[in-house]
């Protein structure tokens, strides 16, 4: 059963969330959605996991979905305030159900999840990073400068068209057919027609997004990661966000070698683009997620 409601964050802001419940649950899965989309996009995955005994829930992030009517803007530090929102919802659901929790972040949500396991890892038993990357190159510094300058000249609420072109536009240029979202035309059309998808985020969003990325791989932050809790990396081999798998490999090496996480699983699907759960790998990816969850929850 799908439910919708709001909760109040630390600054008093009302945050919208969805919750998919099932009978006799054995665990919780928290969805942390991507950029320019909402938790509504995860209905099929949630229903699948419900059938396997998992309650699923997730918020619509600041600037997104029903929290901010896809405005792309919210005041203040949108990255770390959103991270706080995610953590609060974790606590609310853990207190409600008294069940173990695994967090699943996709794309932008995967970077929030990378930050989450550095700061709130005690709340979860494991993490899934989908459509992710090790985002630490010059593009991060350049993006931060561009967004910060735009905010300085009074454009923080305005859509960051230049940065959207630099990211989404650049990703789509890698393909002669369809978009970077999926290799399946019908899935690209569903995304394009979804009311919560494809809007341009504000300069304020990008300013704090790039600033947040720059904190992820600092030793004072990653040394707080609990090395005993498993991580799963799941991506398409043709996902430009993960640099066609290369940046996913770097992220794998970061967690296994630099951080020293004891169990890091890596699943990369050939021929698949950014949304592995909306591509030819849909069923396989659902099953892979279930197997990872069962390995944690069932022991």
HEC readout, the chain: CEEEEEEECCCCCEEEEEEECCCCCCEEEEEECCCCCCHHHHHHHHHHHHHCCEEEEEECCCCCHHHHCCCCCCCCCHHHHHHHHHHHHHHHHHHHHCCCEEEEEECHHHHHHHHHHHHCHHHCCEEEEECCCCCCCHHHHHHHHHHHHHHHCCCCCCECHHHHHHHHHHHHCCCCCCCCCCCCHHHHHHHHHCCCCCCCCEHHHHHHHHHHHCCCCCHHHHCCCCCCCCEEEEEECCCHHHCCCHHHHHHHHHHHHHHCCCCEEEEEECCCCCCHHHCCCHHHHHHHHHHHHHHHHCC
Cα(289)–Cα(297) distance, integer angstroms:
12
pLDDT reading at 191 higher than 90: yes
Cα(21)–Cα(32) distance, integer angstroms:
17
Residue 104 lies in a domain: yes
Beta pairing class for 54-59 and 126-130? unpaired
* Contact (Cβ atoms closer than 8 angstroms) between residue 129 and residue 105: yes
Residue 188 lies in a domain: no
Question: What share of the chain in percent tops pLDDT 70?
Answer: 100
Structure confidence at residue 92 as a pLDDT band (50, 70, 90):
very high
- 17-69 pLDDT, tens digit each: 999 999 999 999 999 999 999 999 999 999 999 999 999 999 999 999 999 99
* pLDDT reported for residue 176: 81
Domain CATH for 121 = 3.40.50.1820
* pLDDT reported for residue 140: 92
Instruction: Domain count for the chain, please give it.
Output: 1
Mean pLDDT of 184-211: 97
This prediction's pTM: 0.97
Mean pLDDT of 232-244: 97
Structure confidence at residue 169 as a pLDDT band (50, 70, 90):
confident
* Contact (Cβ atoms closer than 8 angstroms) between residue 231 and residue 264: yes
Residue 168 lies in a domain: no
Starting at the earlier edge strand, list the strands of the sheet with 54-59.
2-8, 14-20, 54-59, 27-32, 101-106, 126-130, 231-236, 264-269
Cα(250)–Cα(65) distance, integer angstroms:
32
Structure confidence at residue 138 as a pLDDT band (50, 70, 90):
confident
The parent domain of residue 238 ranges over 2-135+216-297
Structure confidence at residue 98 as a pLDDT band (50, 70, 90):
very high
Residue 182 lies in a domain: no
């Amino acid at each position: 059963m799908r439910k919708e409601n709001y909760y109040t964050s630390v600054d008093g802001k009302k945050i919208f969330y969805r919750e998919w419940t099932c009978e006799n649950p054995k665990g919780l899965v928290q969805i942390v959605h991507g950029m320019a989309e909402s938790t509504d996009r995860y209905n099929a995955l949630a229903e699948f996991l419900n059938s396997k005994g998992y309650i699923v829930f997730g918020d619509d992030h600041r600037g997104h979905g029903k929290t901010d009517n896809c405005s792309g803007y919210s005041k203040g530090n949108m990255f770390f305030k959103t991270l706080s929102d995610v953590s609060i919802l974790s606590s609310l659901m853990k207190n409600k159900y008294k069940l173990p929790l695994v967090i699943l972040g996709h794309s932008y949500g995967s970077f929030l999840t990378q930050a989450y396991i550095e700061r709130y890892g005690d709340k979860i038993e494991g993490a899934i990073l989908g459509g992710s990357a090790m985002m630490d190159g010059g593009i991060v510094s350049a993006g931060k400068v561009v967004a910060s300058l735009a905010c300085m000249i009074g454009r923080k609420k305005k859509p960051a068209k230049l940065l959207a072109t630099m990211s989404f536009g650049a990703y789509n240029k890698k393909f002669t057919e369809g978009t970077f979202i999926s290799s399946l035309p019908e899935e690209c059309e569903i995304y394009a027609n979804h009311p919560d998808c494809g809007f341009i985020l504000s300069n304020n969003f990008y300013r704090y997004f790039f600033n947040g990325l720059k904190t992820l791989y600092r030793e004072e932050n990653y040394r707080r990661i609990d090395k005993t809790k498993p991580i799963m990396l799941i991506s398409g081999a043709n996902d430009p966000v993960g640099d066609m798998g290369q940046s996913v490999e770097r992220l794998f090496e970061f967690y296994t070698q630099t951080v020293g996480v004891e169990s890091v699983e890596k699943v990369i699907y050939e021929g698949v683009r950014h949304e592995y759960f909306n591509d030819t790998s849909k069923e396989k990816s659902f099953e892979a997620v279930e197997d990872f969850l069962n390995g944690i929850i069932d022991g």
